[in-house]
Structure 1
Amino acid sequence: MNEKITAHPQKEEREKVLKEIRQLENRKKILENKQRNEERRVRTRRLIERGAVLEGIFPLAPDLSGAEVKAFLITLSHLPGAAELTANLPKSGDTP
């Protein structure tokens, strides 16, 4: 009979722990989603800024399709001296 009395609190304790685990897993998922959303937001901003730079330097860029812009940039990258210029660019996070 004592086993039944002690078994019931153990079951309640187990359920409590399992509930806490589920809550922590849900909190983890929420934090991971927030992190992914923040990373997506940062990437989107970076792409918009770089697109604006491209359009500012090459006024015809807004009239080109994505494939045409890509082909144009690939062509530029094959010009003499392009590889050296790219190699000398500061890396992201470096101070100029």
Structure 2
Amino acid sequence: MNEKITAHPQKEEREKVLKEIRQLENRQKILENKQRNEERKARTRRLIERGAILEGVFSLAPDLPGVEVKAFLIALSHLPGAAELAAKLPKSGDKP
């Protein structure tokens, strides 16, 4: 008669299931945060690489403020043949 008698086995089972749900939700949040961080790091790396390419190709770029770099690139995009060249580029998300 030393056995522990539980008065509410359904309540204990429910609490156990709710605890497991909370743990899974927390694990999901952790994984989503990791994914967002990886995406942010990939974007940051891509922006840095492209900025370095821009500065390497156009030596004036490091001295220009962002607004002037944007205006310069927009002006380049209006040159004859720029639209056709841009149309031939792979779209974002396309696999090579």
- Which band: TM-score by shorter chain? 0.7 to 0.9
3-state DSSP class of the match of 1:44?
helix
Specify the alignment match of 1:81 in structure 2. Answer: 81
The percentage of aligned residue pairs carrying the same residue is 84
Cα distance between partner residues in 1 of 2:95 and 2:54: 21
3-state DSSP class of the match of 1:87?
helix
Give the length in aligned residue pairs.
90
Residue ranges of structure 2 left out of the alignment (5+ in a row): none
Deviation at 1:93, TM superposition (A): 2.6
Specify the alignment match of 2:65 in structure 1. Answer: 65
Indicate the structure with greater helix content. Answer: 1
Q: What TM-score, normalized to structure 2?
A: 0.87
Deviation at 1:51, TM superposition (A): 0.3
Q: What TM-score, normalized to structure 1?
A: 0.87
Correspondence list, 1:11-90, <5 A: 11-90=11-90
CA RMSD of aligned residues (A): 1.4
Deviations 1:53-95 (A, max 9, x none): 000000110111111111100000001110011112244531x
Deviations 1:24-68 (A, max 9, x none): 000000000000000000000000000000000001101111111
Residue ranges of structure 1 left out of the alignment (5+ in a row): none
